[in-house]
Chains A and B, each alone.
Chain A
């Protein structure tokens, strides 16, 4: 079975304006729209396209999170994933613990390719793919904007600060995906109905021998310092005047 594993994280939706809790212990997530991390949606889309090209037989979506994460996995199944695993935990997990659970699942499922988002838009850690690759002692390529699979290898283009970098990695490999890799498909109503019948296994972190929760202590969460409201100018002459006064031109 040629299998692709995809990581799916439940996060506060991209369009929500996030607010810090008044007691500074975190951000407000109650009553807020939750979605699949946008980068993970791109990873899933890529997996589906590879399968549609006849280069894979099965797409497995995996998530680690609270029981409500079933909603996001059902969406992943509706998009086209064949089955899903939810490793259910109510505690926040550190990136290394997440990577260790993915490692155990990869060892059992033997995917030839693992696709993850390059970061989750909640904690912006950007660690899981690289850590998983290290734990499995496999190649990694982060921030991929192009992925070609052929002859037991992946040729990937990465978005880097200086432009674009192309690597060739032997499979199995772990790739993290960037925004410009593809545009994820919309879910159609009949697919949502079909997804209800697809297998979604629920596991616990203990099933994977991982017990630790977060190893980092959250001291506090603050809102960012706000910028002072600026001035409006009426024309270019006034703008140039202000810039000259500030010594900027």
Chain B
């Protein structure tokens, strides 16, 4: 009988959608009991959201001013303590979970299963390796706790309708003072969130400048889409790092993905493998992006993109 603890990701006020997706992944394990751990400075609203997720039995709340920012060195020892009695501890494979979960795994004396994309059994999972160019089916030892991160693009978010019990817990561990939060600069753009948007418009190196990237923003706003970018566009300074899609950026699964002026390097394609429809616009008809695109149009983006925006009314 599997007993799964999911580490909630949140921004201090609201639950991140990655948590509901991790619940769906956990629910693929037959007969599993699913609890969620919320570590926060002010947890009430977050815990209420977690308790409302379908399939969740219990929400464990650790409220502590030290938990205000998601610092791995602070959170990991608390999570490791909470893990007692659980067969599995899951977190999302976002920058939050990637930072914290391996530290939890080491404290529990196990290696981690990174990036679960499919559940084959209670201890058997599929995960991408080599930037998604191979899919590994891996079996974790039955006798040890399974610590894993969940590739959120592979799972739908669990629905609402749950009414889990909420329980306050003090894990009673001494917390280190060697790691201190200084600041966070994040773009709140008013646009849909790249990680969860149904539509994404992405631009690449061919845009040529930050100024020209306005074409991408303008089309995205017309479509109600999030904006993404290739690594080349981020490296060139056209857009900030949080827009990067790919192996080392965000892995996303929108209904439709517009790749504009993006050649389609393997590392970029890894980020959009689960996109329902890929539309590619590129002046080079030989660009690798056209091998994976559902709809391709060869031509100059500087004439096509404004034309497309106009045609959409």
Q: Which residues of A contact B (CB under 8 A)?
A: 12, 17-20, 27, 94-97, 99, 118-119, 121-135, 137-143, 145, 155, 158-170, 173, 178-180, 215-224, 227-237, 239-240, 242-243, 246, 248-249
Contact = CB atoms under 8 A, between A and B. Distances in A.
B99 A142 contact: yes
Nearest to B124: A219
B137 A232 contact: no
A146 to B, nearest CB: 11
A230 B293 contact: yes
Is chain A's binding surface mostly helix, strand, loop or mixed?
mixed
A130 B103 contact: yes
Interface string B170-213: 00000010111111111100000001000100000000000000
B279 A166 contact: no
Interface stretch (B24-32, B45-53, B59-67, B235-243): B235-243
A59 to B, nearest CB: 23
A163 B112 contact: no
11 contacts: A20-B133, A27-B130, A130-B72, A131-B105, A164-B242, A169-B179, A173-B178, A219-B124, A240-B312, A246-B277, A249-B223
A34 B44 CA distance: 51
A162 B129 contact: no
Contact of A232 (B266, B297, B312): B297
Interface of B: 11, 71-73, 76, 94-96, 98-103, 105-107, 109-115, 120, 124, 128-141, 144, 176, 178-187, 195, 199, 223, 231, 234-235, 240-242, 247-248, 250, 255-256, 266, 273, 277-279, 290-299, 304, 307-308, 311-312
A97 to B, nearest CB: 8
Given A221-B137, A236-B308, 10 more contacts: A18-B133, A124-B115, A143-B99, A160-B96, A215-B111, A215-B141, A221-B136, A231-B296, A236-B297, A246-B256
Contacts of B178: 138-139, 169-170, 173
Contacts of B113: 216
Most chain A CB atoms below 10 A, which of B130, B140, B195, B277 = B130
B277 A159 contact: no
The 8 A-B residue pairs whose C-beta atoms are closest, nearest first, are: A163-B186, A130-B102, A131-B106, A134-B106, A127-B102, A230-B294, A162-B186, A219-B137
Nearest to A27: B134
Nearest to B243: A163
A134 B308 contact: no
Most chain A CB atoms below 10 A, which of B73, B76, B115 = B73
B266 to A, nearest CB: 7
Given A12-B130, A17-B266, A236 B304 contact: yes
A219 B136 CA distance: 8
A162 B240 CA distance: 10
B102 A216 contact: no
Contact of A161 (B96, B137, B223): B96
Nearest to B93: A126
Nearest to A128: B102
Most chain B CB atoms below 10 A, which of A121, A124, A169, A242 = A124
B79 to A, nearest CB: 11
B99 A96 contact: no
B268 to A, nearest CB: 13
A126 B102 contact: yes
Given A139-B73, A140-B103, A161 B295 contact: no
Contacts of B124: 219
B267 to A, nearest CB: 8
Given A140-B72, A161-B96, A180-B241, A166 B186 contact: no
Contacts of B110: 96, 215
Given A138-B178, A140-B73, A220-B137, A94 B130 contact: no
A223 to B, nearest CB: 7
B251 to A, nearest CB: 11
B308 A224 contact: no
B132 A224 contact: yes
A170 B184 CA distance: 19
